[in-house]
A = this chain, B = another copy of it.
Amino acid sequence: MTEANRSPAARIAQSFARQGLMTTFGASIALPEPGLCEITLPYCPAVTQQHGFVHAGAIAAVLDSACGYAALSVMPDDTGVLTVEFKINLMAPAKGRTFLARGRVLRAGRTLLVTQGECFADGSDRPLALITATIMSLPASRGLAD
């Protein structure tokens, strides 16, 4: 299969596999539908903060990746994504064995995509963290296609 005719799922799986940080975290990715992305983060001591919870930065990382790939899943194949900014509210300590970060596209403009996401612990339906992220679509000519 050439780069040009990859499915969106294959393209995102390849890009995700190049994220060293996600490999370090042992995270995995799923794309239930276009515009939606789920990343699973297992607890391990390598991602903790001082009280033994998962570090807010690790939660931010999986939420940011989930939002970025949700955006990429609705973009043309020869474009790349870059996070412009994000905002996170941490509503409860990140305590648990498995964390699900879900990101989705709310509005897809020509240049900017607005995404939102939540992070859940151990199958709970009450989010422990929320993200709103602005993602920029980069033309392939910038040399950063995903």
Proximity string of chain A (36-55) to chain B, C-beta cutoff 8 Å, 1 when within and 0 when not: 00000000111111110001
B90 touching A85 by the CB < 8 A rule?
yes
Please name all residues of chain B whose beta carbon is closer than 8 Å to the beta carbon of A111 when the two chains form the complex: 111, 136
Known: A19-B49, A64-B56. A87 touches B130 (CB 8 A): no
A51 touching B144 by the CB < 8 A rule?
yes
B84 touching A112 by the CB < 8 A rule?
yes
A57 within 8 A of B: yes
Please name all residues of chain B whose beta carbon is closer than 8 Å to the beta carbon of A127 when the two chains form the complex: 106
Q: How far is the CB of A25 from chain B (nearest CB, A)?
A: 9
A90 touching B84 by the CB < 8 A rule?
yes
